[in-house]
Chains A and B, each alone.
Chain A
């Protein structure tokens, strides 16, 4: 097995988890930065459409490191999916696979169900709801909570902040309710 074949396998949790945890001290050490991703949305808004909203009226250039960081994540995603992707199909829990088949999904390749998330599906009611309304909720919730999942769960919990613990618990509850009760209802119809 060559190195590239080895690296192409899915990375186990005990490799990925500690590496993600180490991002926090790395950013603190190289530039005294608090790890966070969703602030970049705000900086982009402040840079592109400040629209006289007080929330966006600040010197976004002082936070430009965050945009460089997010650019890196984007490029890393491209590299990993273009050249390091796993040739084998994803190993999923059988229960989930049979449940998804029940909703009419036949193809479980890739990172998301291509049959439901594609350009032509965007024109259908269900697709529009899942992608556009879902995206709206992600943006709204992130701002309402003052941070996204990674900011609150990784940086917030690492620095022992109570609001982040509350946010993380709520993210989990929201996800459990959505995945178990609301999403099956949407997919059935």
Chain B
């Protein structure tokens, strides 16, 4: 069983950026939260005219800043968010650690010449 799981994982990784296999089994309606996120995403794409053929032409002819602003700010916000999430995940934020850090930073403030 373990081996087939491994095989499947290898297979799914081929030519794909990411494998998003769920470890949990949910009832179908648990996935509706993704539909909700998608709903917002779809509305943004239409309302900001990102899917407009005309806006895309403008972008590739460098006749408008609109799309570059969207891509740039989306990437920056995405990068910062992933950085924050990784920071919190890799170092479990236990109470002890928090007190240690607080202690350390307070000392740091006062110890600086």
Contact = CB atoms under 8 A, between A and B. Distances in A.
A145 B9 CA distance: 19
B18 A34 contact: yes
B61 A10 contact: no
Contact of B64 (A64, A93, A152): A93
A62 B74 contact: no
B37 A152 contact: no
B31 A16 contact: no
A71 B35 contact: yes
Contacts, number: 249
B102 interface: no
B61 to A, nearest CB: 6
Interface residues of A, number: 88
B43 A84 contact: yes
A80 B43 contact: yes
Contact of A17 (B17, B59, B74): B74
Contacts of B73: 13-14, 17-18, 21
B95 interface: no
B42 to A, nearest CB: 2
Nearest to B28: A64
Given A11-B48, A28-B82, A178-B60, A154 B37 contact: no
Interface of A: 7, 10-31, 33-34, 36, 39, 42, 54-55, 57-59, 62-66, 68-81, 84-85, 90, 92-93, 95-96, 100, 108, 111-113, 117, 143-144, 146-147, 151-161, 164, 172, 175-176, 178-180, 183
Given A69-B38, A157-B79, 15 more contacts: A15-B48, A20-B41, A24-B77, A25-B78, A25-B81, A39-B20, A68-B38, A73-B45, A74-B38, A76-B40, A76-B41, A79-B43, A96-B57, A152-B17, A178-B60
